[in-house]
């Protein structure tokens, strides 16, 4: 086992990648509700396509939140502000399909209706990952390096170091392992959105 060799690859997407944009909008809506109502229930799904943002899901909250303003602020913070582009904070079209949480979910999640006062789960998920001593951050080296590259793209764009960078991008790092220890980087890919004037 100590002599086993393999290559492990991890990928990171930049903050302007559609998946990250959707996650950031959903997180921003959740944060806005929690700030006013710590007992709220927010299940918000987001879809972005062309010049549209679609909000869907179930929200039960006593908070008064302007979802449209939250969406535009999130898109602006990411950096989609060019009025020439169809997807930008100022002109994006926002559709909402949000209702209150279904009573069946509430009954299954709340501990009070249950005979044994047990709290249920409203959803399920599968995660992959592990803590490791490969890095001080306790993250596997390939994903740590991929995240650092994505963060570097965002920093260079926001501080004006690279003027032609745009918010979307993807990084990929492949690391050679020997005996379950990282030995060298075998491949590195950085793909980034850029202005039309970049050559």
Per-residue pLDDT tens over the stretch 1-34: 557 999 999 999 999 999 999 999 999 999 999 9
**Between residues 56 and 1, which one has the greater pLDDT?**
56
Q: How far apart are alpha carbons 95 and 92 in whole angstroms?
A: 10
Q: Is residue 158 part of a domain?
A: yes
Helices (H) and strands (E) in the chain, counts: 4, 6
Looking at the structure, tell me whether residues 35 and 67 fall in a common domain. Answer: yes
Domain total for the chain?
2
Q: Quick check: pTM over 0.75? A: yes
Cα–Cα dist 148/188, whole Å = 12
- Give the confidence band of 197 by pLDDT, cuts at 50, 70, 90: confident
* Residue 120 binned pLDDT confidence (cut-offs 50, 70, 90): low
122 contacts: CB under 8 Å, gap ≥ 6: 41, 43, 105, 108, 109
Say whether both 78 and 152 belong to one domain: no
Question: Distances from the Cα of 192 to the Cαs of 60, 74, 147, 171, in angstroms?
Answer: 38, 20, 14, 8
pLDDT tens digits, 157-190:
999 999 999 999 999 999 999 988 999 999 999 9
Residues 64 and 96 in one domain: yes
CB-CB neighbours of 75 under 10 Å: 25
* Residues 10 and 80 reside in one and the same domain: no
Which residues constitute the domain of residue 34?
18-100
């Amino acid at each position: 086992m100590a002599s086993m060799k393999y290559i492990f690859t991890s990928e990171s997407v930049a903050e302007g990648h559609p998946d990250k944009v959707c996650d950031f909008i959903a997180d921003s809506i959740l944060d806005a509700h929690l700030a006013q109502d710590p007992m709220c229930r927010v299940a918000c799904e987001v879809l972005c396509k062309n010049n549209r943002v679609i909000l869907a899901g179930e929200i039960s909250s006593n908070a008064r939140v302007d979802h449209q303003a939250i969406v535009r602020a999130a898109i602006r913070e990411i950096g989609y502000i060019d009025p020439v582009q169809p997807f930008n904070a100022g002109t994006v079209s926002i559709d909402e399909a949000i209702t209150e949480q279904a009573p069946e979910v509430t009954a299954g999640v709340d501990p009070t209706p249950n005979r044994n006062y047990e709290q249920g789960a409203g959803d399920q998920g599968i995660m992959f990952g592990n803590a490791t001593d490969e890095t001080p951050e306790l993250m596997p080296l390939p994903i740590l390096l991929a995240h650092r590259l994505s963060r570097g793209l965002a920093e260079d764009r926001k501080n004006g170091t690279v003027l032609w960078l745009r918010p979307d991008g993807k990084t990929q790092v492949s690391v050679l392992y020997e005996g379950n220890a990282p030995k060298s980087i075998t491949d590195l890919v950085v793909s980034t959105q850029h202005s039309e004037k970049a050559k």
